[in-house]
Amino acid sequence: MSLPSVPLRWERREPPLPAAAVLAVGDAVPALAAATRERVRGGARLAVLADDEAALPAADRALLVLGAEADLPWADGARYLGRDAGLLVPTTARPVPAAALWRRVIGAADRLGVLVPGHALVADTPAPITAPEALDAFTRPARTDADADGAGDGLQ
């Protein structure tokens, strides 16, 4: 017996949700990491989740920053997320079917769940970051395949 398949669609949300997180993917990661580092140095209480494994293609790197709306950093190319039925979704978009259903489908009932076009994330909620320098590694652009082969680093 096969289960029915339901496509995920997005509708415009008005008014937008209050921001509870900001997400950067790919080339937007270094700018968000730098802005987050500065906010933490300034006293903001922010939590960070990163997916930046060396084997990941540069386009798949991700950085999620959680905190109070007033503390969240801004970075070009990053997307603000708000809570809809316990799931983090874009502040200006509504998933269809409802977020509560998608939260169960992706297995985020008791964990942090993020759903954005093209990506879903389920993880344990991170503790607030206490060492801003921990973000330094993410402020550098991702290594390319040429870098990994040694061709892009100027070494002979």
Q: In Å, how far are 1, 40, 47, 138 from 131, measured between CA atoms? A: 51, 8, 11, 13
pLDDT at residue 99, as a whole number: 94
Low-confidence ranges of the chain (pLDDT < 50): 145-156
pLDDT at residue 155, as a whole number: 21
pLDDT at residue 3, as a whole number: 60
Cβ(90)–Cβ(19) below 8 Å: no
How many CB atoms sit inside 10 A of residue 132's CB? Answer: 16
pLDDT at residue 119, as a whole number: 86
Structure tokens at 80: 């603000």
pLDDT at residue 2, as a whole number: 64
Structure tokens at 34: 């730098």
pLDDT at residue 21, as a whole number: 98
